[in-house]
């Protein structure tokens, strides 16, 4: 199972979380209350992801029997399911675990597309989970950067942070329409599963970009990221013959 074998559990953290649950909330230090809440949020996110993986399992089993997925991919899926259960039962709450859950969710979205799972299931797996957003949960404001490109404000197009944020919001909304269109096309065999999986991965990157602009980040790097993603989606939309390709020009 790639990427996730080296994660380490901290059993003491789990014990402390469950012990603290028996005390009155006002008796706990503010930082401890925040840690307990974060741990419960991470567990809840893991439980929800476990439920999604359980539903996806039927489609994966069927695809494996038909040869749509090979043994390696099947074993990979089973490894993800086991790992989610381990994280859920650990009670731990670390940035590494949050990032791991977010990565597993992304991988499951790709598998769901590969095995032709329902559009609703794919949409649920693609949707970002704020509980697993390490940057959003670990700091009130983004960390300072020493690089000139990171500190420089995004170029104008109106020049304001709000302008970049609104453009990303519009881009995100248009992408959702495109994904809905492409989900129908892949069901009809008009585009390949591989192309649809690539579109889903791009959607995850768009969601991550939107999270940055939603909290007020507007740098040259983010502007460049926005332009690159928009160009990639435009190329995809044109290739797929989308009715709304011009919205991504």
pTM of the prediction? 0.46
What whole-number distance in Å separates Cα of residue 172 and Cα of residue 230? 10
Q: What is the pLDDT along the chain (249 residues), one digit of tens a residue?
A: 333 322 322 222 232 233 333 333 344 344 444 444 455 678 888 899 999 999 999 999 999 999 988 998 899 899 999 989 988 888 777 888 888 888 898 889 889 988 888 888 888 888 888 888 776 665 444 444 444 444 444 444 433 444 888 888 888 888 888 888 888 888 888 888 888 888 888 888 888 888 888 888 888 889 999 999 999 999 999 999 998 999 898
What whole-number distance in Å separates Cα of residue 117 and Cα of residue 60? 8
Q: Would you say 159 and 242 are in contact if contact means Cβ atoms under 8 Å apart? A: no
- Residue where the block lists tokens 């649809």: 196
Q: Would you say 41 and 97 are in contact if contact means Cβ atoms under 8 Å apart? A: no
What whole-number distance in Å separates Cα of residue 107 and Cα of residue 84? 12
Smallest CA-to-CA distance from 176 within 225, 129, 237, 116 is with: 237
> Between the CA of residue 209 and those of 37, 58, 109, 191, what are the distances in Å?
26, 33, 18, 26
């Amino acid at each position: 199972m790639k990427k996730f074998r080296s994660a380490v559990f901290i059993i003491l953290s789990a014990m402390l979380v469950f012990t603290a649950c028996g005390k009155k909330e006002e008796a706990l230090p503010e930082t401890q209350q925040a840690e307990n809440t974060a741990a419960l949020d991470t567990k809840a996110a893991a439980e929800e992801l476990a439920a999604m993986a359980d539903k996806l399992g039927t489609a994966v089993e069927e695809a494996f029997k038909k040869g749509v997925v090979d043994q390696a991919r099947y074993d990979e899926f089973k490894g993800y399911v086991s790992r989610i259960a381990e994280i859920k039962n650990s009670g731990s709450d670390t940035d590494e675990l949050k990032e791991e859950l977010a990565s597993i969710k992304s991988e499951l979205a790709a598998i769901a597309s590969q095995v032709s799972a329902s559009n609703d299931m794919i949409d649920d797996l693609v949707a970002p989970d704020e509980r697993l957003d390490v940057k959003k949960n670990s700091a009130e404001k983004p960390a300072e950067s020493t690089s000139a490109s990171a500190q420089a404000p995004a170029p104008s197009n109106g020049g304001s942070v709000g302008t970049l944020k609104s453009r990303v919001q519009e881009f995100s909304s248009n992408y959702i329409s495109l994904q809905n269109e492409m989900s129908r096309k892949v069901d009809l065999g008009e585009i390949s599963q591989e192309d649809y999986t690539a579109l889903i991965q791009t959607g995850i990157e768009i969601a991550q970009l939107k999270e940055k602009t939603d909290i007020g980040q507007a740098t040259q790097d983010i502007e460049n990221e926005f332009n690159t993603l928009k160009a990639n989606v435009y190329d995809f939309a044109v290739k797929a013959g989308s009715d709304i390709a011009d919205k991504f020009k």
